[in-house]
Amino acid sequence: MPLSYAELEEFYEDLVSEARRRGVACAITSGMACVAFGVAAATLDCDLLCSPETAEELFRMLQETCLRDRLPNYRGHLTAPLDSRWLSGGWTSHFCWSPPNEEAYLDIFGIPPRGTSPWAAEFQGLYAGLHTVAEMKRTDRDKDWPFATALGLKLLETGDQRGWLHLFNLEVLRETLKLMPCPAEMIALRPVLSLLAEGDDRLEIALKAEIEFWHRLDQLRLKVYERALRPYMLAVKREALCDPPSSLAVQHGARLKLAGDLLPFNPLREYGIDRLIDETKGKTAEMLPSGALRWLPDASECFKFLSK
């Protein structure tokens, strides 16, 4: 019988509590966080932020973390090993319990995609802060954007003016401005807000350009990782490491060996952050008037926590 959402939630929360007890800096983010904050329905997987320097201790804990008397495995060909060197370069490690009918999924990030502030300084209980979760929702998936706006409103309700950075619905922006002024420091971080404050009719097209830019940036970011991943992925597949009868420790050792030879630590830095952003602007300009790009934010801030 499949686990209920309440059972999975309890399992993941217990996992984070135990990890913190062992000194691991970690927090639940993304879908489960949106559920906890009251802006989404249930989700069956868990995205976890973990400070790269504590990844080794988290891995030791995972080796003995049972769910329905089953220990976890690495999941699929695409997962990097859970190791500080790859986590700090933006890779993600994926685990599952109860194969072949996988019931619980754990995806571990060392760096929150699009994160611009130290996430470990803003825990909300066992969860990452609203600001971090909202930034992670600027994906290439349309379904994520209403969550970003909802989280932005939650931030403003608490008096955190960074909520202005996450409102991507035109009517919500206009209605919110009727309730409170938009601070100059938020306009400086997100230039499209200047059009809102001035009542400029160009706001709608500038907002579309901003959303399209974030879509495209996430798509190009993922393509860089996918290209860098291919040799490692093929080796993992060739050596049949995805459904091994061996322990997690053995799986980990085999993946570490392959990754050391085939998986670059930080493909985005190798590709070039400025190049990535410039190419994204070019792709965005193909869809919308190039003049609309003048109100884009400084996206380089979203990559400052990647290891150098």
pLDDT tens digits, residue range 185-226? 999 999 999 999 999 999 999 999 999 999 999 999 999 999
- The beta strand positions in the chain, using DSSP E, are 26-29, 45-50, 73-74, 92-97, 104-109
Largest separation between any pair of C-alpha atoms in the chain: 63
What's the pLDDT band for 42 if we cut at 50, 70, 90?
A: confident
Lowest-pLDDT range of 34-48, 113-127, 141-155, 270-284: 34-48
Say how far apart CA 288 and CA 23 lie, in whole Å: 48
What's the pLDDT band for 307 if we cut at 50, 70, 90?
A: confident
**Beta bridge partners of residue 94, listed in sequence order:** 107
Residue 165 lies in a domain: no
Q: What is the CATH number of the domain that holds 34?
A: 3.30.460
Specify the number of domains making up the chain.
1
Residue 63 is encoded by which pair of tokens? 């080796």
Q: Output the pLDDT for position 135.
A: 97
Residue 137 lies in a domain: no
Structural element, H or E, at residue 98: none
What's the pLDDT band for 99 if we cut at 50, 70, 90?
A: low
Q: Output the pLDDT for position 18.
A: 98
Query: 228-265 pLDDT, tens per residue?
Result: 999 999 999 988 777 767 899 999 999 999 999 999 99
Residue 275 lies in a domain: no
**Beta bridge partners of residue 45, listed in sequence order:** 105
Residue 21 lies in a domain: yes
Q: Which residue, 58, 33, 57, is CA-closest to 47?
A: 33
Residue 101 scores a pLDDT above 60: no
**Beta bridge partners of residue 93, listed in sequence order:** 108
Residue 30 lies in a domain: yes
Q: Output the pLDDT for position 100.
A: 55
Lowest-pLDDT range of 117-131, 142-156, 203-217, 229-243: 229-243
Say how far apart CA 81 and CA 65 lie, in whole Å: 17
Instruction: Tell me the residue range of the domain where 46 lies.
Output: 5-109
Residue 172 scores a pLDDT above 60: yes
Residue 91 lies in a domain: yes
Residue 28 lies in a domain: yes
Residue 100 lies in a domain: yes
Query: 2-39 pLDDT, tens per residue?
Result: 788 888 999 999 999 999 999 999 999 999 999 999 99
Query: 240-249 pLDDT, tens per residue?
Result: 777 767 899 9
